[in-house]
Structure 1
């Protein structure tokens, strides 16, 4: 279970993304991580060895695609390859799933689900 570091983020909607980013210098990494940690939807961001970026964010307000756009706006790019494409596809699917489930009203298991008219 991921624990929220910022009080505004809800732990049940937090997602952790691990991406390999290429094309950043050390000063760009520092600026980028600082920008991410000050973003209202990002819970925590950190750089790991081998250019690994680990970001935990609130999936109801932000997405993996928005993270990729931010990486590209700083001049970086994601590492290519089959495995990275598979991870991105799975990340995008779970982003959409959480966003859709966040808008659903829960109902009791012993009742009939609400019908659309």
Structure 2
């Protein structure tokens, strides 16, 4: 067991950290976006730097997905940067978020039993 303390609703096993660059961001937008993301269930930490336009967020991927965070960012007139590296990371983040969510919902079965039919 680690000594790290997380917010309620965040499971350390499913915790992921994401670093993305935003397209356009000023101080007012950064404050509004951070204030809306912070209380979401599953969010452990949020940091937005308007100078570098970086969004750094840690969240429980079994509860929250990157699409939900992107929707909030777009609601305030910003978007994810469209550089090839940022698009690559975004695709990778979506893939791993889906894997974490699928693994969290998976019910293991014993090897001496017949697997459940779906």
TM range (shorter): 0.7 to 0.9
Determine whether 1:33 maps to 2:34: yes
Query: Which of 81-90 and 3-12 deviates more?
Result: 3-12
Match of residue 83 from structure 1: 85
Match of residue 16 from structure 1: 17
CA distance in 2, matches of 1:13, 1:64: 14
Alpha-carbon contact 2:61-2:100 (below 8 Å) kept: yes
Tell me which stretches of 4 or more aligned residues in structure 1 moved more than 6 Å: none
The offset of 1:113, in angstroms, is 6.3
Match of residue 47 from structure 1: 48
Alpha-carbon contact 1:4-1:10 (below 8 Å) kept: no
| TM-score, L = length of structure 1 | 0.84
Q: CA RMSD in A?
A: 2.0
CA distance in 2, matches of 1:68, 1:113: 42
